[in-house]
């Protein structure tokens, strides 16, 4: 398999995992809304806007950044920089998921953004 294909099959799913974390945070935040229709619309908006943003901006941007890292490190470290970046990306997303699903969405939010009550 080509390196670009592996990168694309890894980066876009990571972006979608981040989108899912955003949906978890949105669901946490809309619990304070009195109107269920507004809460549903907010969650749908996060999914629609966030999905488009991830697929058309963030994933291509990350892929471009990885290819720049790879080009820049070709003389010195070769593919190690690219592989290290992908591993760190996976570890950060795993840690965020662990925080959200074990402790709750409030664990990755700043204090000012947490629901009170």
Q: Report mean pLDDT in 10-residue bins for the chain, 117 residues.
A: 66 89 93 91 94 90 78 62 83 95 93 84
Do residues 28 and 106 make contact, with C-beta atoms less than 8 angstroms apart?
A: yes
**Under 8 Å between Cβ of 81 and 7:** no
Which structural domain, as residue segments, surrounds residue 18? 3-113
- How high is the pLDDT of residue 76? 59
| pLDDT (0 to 100) of residue 1 | 45
pLDDT at 28: 93
Which two tokens mark 11?
């980066």
For 28, residues 6+ apart whose C-beta sits below 8 A from its C-beta are: 104, 105, 106, 109, 115
Domain count, the chain: 1
Is the distance from CB of 2 to CB of 89 less than 8 angstroms?
no
């Amino acid at each position: 398999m080509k390196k670009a294909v592996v990168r694309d099959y890894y980066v876009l799913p990571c972006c979608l995992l981040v989108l899912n974390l955003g949906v978890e945070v949105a669901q946490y935040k809309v619990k304070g809304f009195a109107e269920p229709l507004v809460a549903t619309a907010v969650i749908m908006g996060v999914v629609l806007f966030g999905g488009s943003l991830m697929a058309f901006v963030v994933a291509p941007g990350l892929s471009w950044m990885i290819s720049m890292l790879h080009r820049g490190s070709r003389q010195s470290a070769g593919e190690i920089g690219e592989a290290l970046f992908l591993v760190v990306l996976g570890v950060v997303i795993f840690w965020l998921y662990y925080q959200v699903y074990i402790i709750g969405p409030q664990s990755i939010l700043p204090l000012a953004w947490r629901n009170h009550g």
